[in-house]
Structure 1
Amino acid sequence: MTEYEGRNAIIVSQRGLYSCRGRSDSGRQTYNSDNAIIKDTLPITAILTIQPNWTQIYMGETFTVICEIPGGEGTYWSYDWRPERFTTYYTTNERTFYNVGWEDNGNYQCRGNKGLSLTEWSNVIPVTISFKLHPVLTVSPSWLSPGASVTLSCEIEYPSEGWSYYWYKAIPNMDIKEEPYKYELLPDGSETAQTLYIITGQTHTAAYVCRAQRGRNYYYTYYSKPKFVWSADLYSAASLTVGPVEQRLGFDFVRLTCTGNSTWWRVRKFPENSVPYCSDVWNLGESVCTLYTVISYSDDGVYWCESMSKQFSNAVNITLQDFYSGPLMVIPDDPVKKGTFVSLSCNLRIKKIFPFVAFYHNNKLIQNDSREELNFLAVSKSDEGSYKCQYSGKESPSRWMSVKCE
């Protein structure tokens, strides 16, 4: 033992138990301090491994760290562990962490502890816990010909790391308080090793999901978002029809109507960036959904109907821009009074600098110039009938004007 130049520290060169006590100039002494254990450091470095040897660990999974002492077989060892928040002086060389969370993040190390001898600290294994995984499902083709084969592909982070896959059909859920779909396992869709699943003979609109699993404790990912295979087959058990563009009370609209052998229906749309007020709401009997085309182009998308009896209708790809591109005939909703001034107009969606508009009454051309209005100074009963306008090669839907005598 060598005395240190300072009065309250020493440097030691032998292992053992050490304590200290203080003494004043008058000779009074303190009690002895707690013992400090000085151990030898062996010229051995512990080796730390992790099982399973994933490069990424997700919340809810389980992993085990194993501490090995080279040449230490048959010798009694205890083990110290890092991070320091974990209990040290473990008597086994394995530690298992179940249902891991954020608190299990850290740089893991171990060392062997035998009496007054210690090994060097092991290599560092950094453990980073990530959010539970969301797989991504793709389908090909998304629009199918009746009877075609459909390929489902489940994409996942680090796909080579021991995953197996589960494949499901999405079924409409009747409980509006729960998720829109519940899932039924497809035939031979349990714990497959392949990231692809092929469906043969698909004829109607359908929805699918996937998820993945790995590890001896059966860690499951979330379900993927449902992906749809759409069919335009008009002879399916359910039917979606799209009505013509109409105008009423200053709004342009088109109606979608669901029919079939079921009691309850709902209209669905993809993408879900803009969902009509009637979408995802179960309706008793025939379900009617109204799209107001003047509001937003974001209503563009694929529409279909679903029933509580698991039926899917044909799908319709609606582009409201098509409705915007043509003119609309604007006519009073209520009958007009005979002898009064009445003005009809042609609503031009895409307007040129010098428009050239044609008006028709009962399919007979009655005005063709740059005016966008058709005016009647004193409307008569003979003016009653069907009106439409034509502009830039496109024709509006016909509208009926009624004339009352009083």
Structure 2
Amino acid sequence: MAAMAAMAAQALLLLLVCAAGARTALLQEEPLRAEVRVMHGDSELFVGDRVTLRCSVPGHPSGWSYNWYKAGVPLVGYSNTGSMYTLRAASPLQSGPYACQGQRRGTGPQRTQLSPPLYVRVCGGWVSLQAPLQPVILGREMTLSCRVRGNPRLEEVVFYKDGRELQRRPHPQLHLSRLSYQDEGAYWCRASWGQQWRWSSAQSPAVQVSVKEMLTEPVLEVLTGVPALRGREMILSCSAQLIVARPGLRLRYSFRRNDHRLAVDSSEDTHTVLQADRRDAGDYQCKVTVDGLGLAKWSNSVQVEVMDEEPVKTEVPHVTPTVAVETQTVELSSSPPNWTELPPLAPDWAESSSLDTDWTELSPLDTETEDTHPVLSARDAEDVFNDTESLSTTSHRGWATNLTSDTAPFPESEPLLDTEEQRGLNQTSSVY
């Protein structure tokens, strides 16, 4: 058990060392930015006063030389110099934004990003209004100071905003808490002082105050998509930016699931779950904190579900069966078919009798019944038989309506004898 505990401790230590190394490498990859501060004096000064500015690189204090700029233009004589820049016997022409940049030599030339500008204002009058670096942060506090050349004892100080009086006191400061956008505007002050029997009063130039958000609203996203797949990697991203740049300000990120912190707060804006599981499902949020200000904001809430990965389905292309249908074209002739004409059939009794035989016409038999049939002679029966055979043959040819062009159909008043009646007549003829 002791051996296993020792191995676990070593593994944990190795993991912490790797994490620290990765964080150091990340910080080294981030571009460095210089910053400028007031070392002596004040950024709001009168003609003839002096102010000293100092440039530095946070986290890397040694081995640097510096270049100084005013309104983006390099200052003559202040290239590759030390970290201090002093304005002596300042004049109104020296008012403006000042910035610096660090550079050093080592394994390779290295330069920092230009520092955020620091505005220096030289007042040529008697009264000056000192305000914080603009813009000021929404929700924070602000203090304005009314300063008189030579710092005499003030009897009365009046503060104004956009022409409206805000405060009238002997105290030279105006304090505003929980700034809002309604606090934006032009501010100035009027100071009164006296020495012995001489009294003076003067008004400062106006200072424009703007109020802005320091930090954008954080946005939490699941880069790998929602829902997360079980056993797959899940990456969370928290996006936020500083709207107002200030020297030394850093953002720190904290990720939480169901209000439980997932890891230690760090400068990493992403959090990775190597293999998502059912327990990783829940409600996620991130918190962004501005170091040095105590300002923090929470992101939106994202509900994450973890599901099993569906098997990959192979799509079989749908094939429509094709049936080949062979068609034949049958040409129909408009002319009647060429039938082979067969000779008419002769009656059975014709084989044993001669057609020239004299037939005796028999008179009809006397009968008492009303339903009697006429008796035809043998010759008449033969003529009827021949006519019937001719009509049957013609019907087979498909020309029942018109036998010939010169032959008219039989009249309806003279019905033809059917085959049975004809055979009966033939038998009667044979008897007689």
Question: How does the TM-score come out when normalised to structure 1?
Answer: 0.36
Greater fraction strand: 1
Question: How does the TM-score come out when normalised to structure 2?
Answer: 0.34
Greater fraction helix: 2
Specify the structure having the higher radius of gyration (Cα): 2
